Amino acid sequence: MNKIATRIWERVFELGCAIQAVHVPGIQNEVADFLSRMHDRSDWKLNPVWWRLLDDEWGPHSIDLFASQLNRQLPRYYSWMYDVEAEATDAFRQSWANENGYANPPFNLIGQVLQKVIRDQAKITIVVPVWKPASW
């Protein structure tokens, strides 16, 4: 992004133009406002140091079950929505039976993940928070 911004500024300077940033209220710019709020708050990535320790202990893992291009830990991954690099979308619609999966799911899906492990008789390493009252 920095390289692109630098090229833009250089071109603007060459042309003798000016760029001015202006705030446009979201109500007047609905598309940009909507897209800026689409950040997935459950899109976490385990620190790579901890990931390597997990993979050394319980791996090698074959697929990252809940990932995106930005947070994947493995070349093979399932994404929650279409992703050109993902092997498939919606991990719950895929078989986990012949995988050694890695899962860092959104916290609200942990119960479903554990049910899927039982149904598929799957082997996974799952990252969950330590919440004493939680059912898991």
pLDDT digits (tens, 9 = 90+) for 68-108: 999 999 999 999 888 999 999 999 999 999 999 999 999 88
Q: Which residue has the higher pLDDT, 27 or 45?
A: 45
pTM as predicted: 0.68
CA distance 74 to 102: 9
The candidate with the shortest Cα–Cα distance to 68, out of 54, 83, 46, is 83
**Span 116-130, average pLDDT:** 95
CA distance 78 to 128: 18
pLDDT (tens digit per residue) in 40-76:
555 678 999 999 999 999 999 999 999 999 999 999 9
